[in-house]
Structure 1
Amino acid sequence: MQGTHDSAKRRLLSCLSHGAIFFSTTILSVGVPIAITFISDDPVVQANAKESINFHFNVWFWGILILIPSLLTFGLLGWILFPLGYAIHWGLTIWALAHCFTKPDEPFRYPFIFRLL
C-alpha cells in the first residue's frame, strides 16, 4: 500500500486516529478518526481510522457488557472485570500506536474485534 504519500503525515494521522481514545472515551474518541477519514486521501490513514472507529465501538460494547454483571453483583464483579477491560483496552491501543510508529506504511488490525466498517 505504498504510494507517494508523506510518511510523517501518515504516521501522525494514523497515530492520532488510534490515540484518540486517550483524549476521551466518549464521542470525541470516534469523532477524531471520522474527521481524519474525511480529510485524508491516504488509503493507509483511512484504513487505520476505520479500524480505530471499529475498536472504539467495541470498547463501548464490551464496557456495557461488563457493566451489566457488575450492577447485578452490586459492583463486586466490576472490581475484576473493569481493570481487566482497561488493561486490554490500553494495551491494544499502545500496540496500535507502536505499530503505526514503526510500520507507517501498513494499516494496523486489532485482533478479536467486531468490524462494522
Structure 2
Amino acid sequence: MQVTYDSDKRKLLSSLCHGAIFFSTALFSIGVPIVINLISDDPVVKSNAKESINFHLNVWFWGTVIGVPIGILSFLTFGIGGILFFPVVAFGFLLHWGLTIWALLKCFSNPDVPVHYPFIFRLF
C-alpha cells in the first residue's frame, strides 16, 4: 500500500526546520527541527529535520572554533584583531545564511526530495 503525504504540509514543515537556523543565536532554535522530527511521520520531513539539526550543530561548532580565537585576539590587540578578521566573520555569516536560503528554495521548489547541505558533519 502506497502512502501519500500532503505536499503543502511537507513544504511548511521542511521550511520551518531549515528556517529555524535564522534564530541560531537563540539556543531554542534547534528545538524546532527536533520537535518536528518527533511529531512528523513524513520521511522527507524527518530527513529535513535531521539535516537541519546537523546544520545547527555545525554552525555552532564552527562559530565557536573560529569565534573564540578571534575574540581572544581582538581582546589582546585592543580590537585590531577583530577588525583584521572581519572578512572571515562576514564570510561565515554569508555562508551560513546563504546555505539556509538555498535549502529553503530547494524545499519550496522540490518538496519531495530531502535537502542535504554540502560540507557538513552529520551526527544524526
Larger-gyration structure (1/2): 2
Secondary structure at the residue paired with 1:108?
coil
Distance 1:66 1:77, change over 3 A: farther
Structure 2: state its 5+ residue gaps.
Answer: 75-81
TM value normalised by structure 2: 0.87
**Aligned equivalent of 2:93:** 86
Secondary structure at the residue paired with 1:73?
helix
Q: Deviations over 1:15-35 (max 9, x none)?
A: 000001123433222000000
Structure 1: state its 5+ residue gaps.
Answer: none
CA RMSD of aligned residues (A): 1.5
Q: Deviations over 1:36-88 (max 9, x none)?
A: 00110000000000000000000000100111331242124441221110000
Kindly tell me the number of residue pairs found equivalent between the two proteins. 116
Q: How does 1:18-97 map to 2 (within 5 A)?
A: 18-74=18-74, 75-97=82-104
TM value normalised by structure 1: 0.92
Partner letter of residue 101 of structure 1? F
**Identical positions, percent:** 62
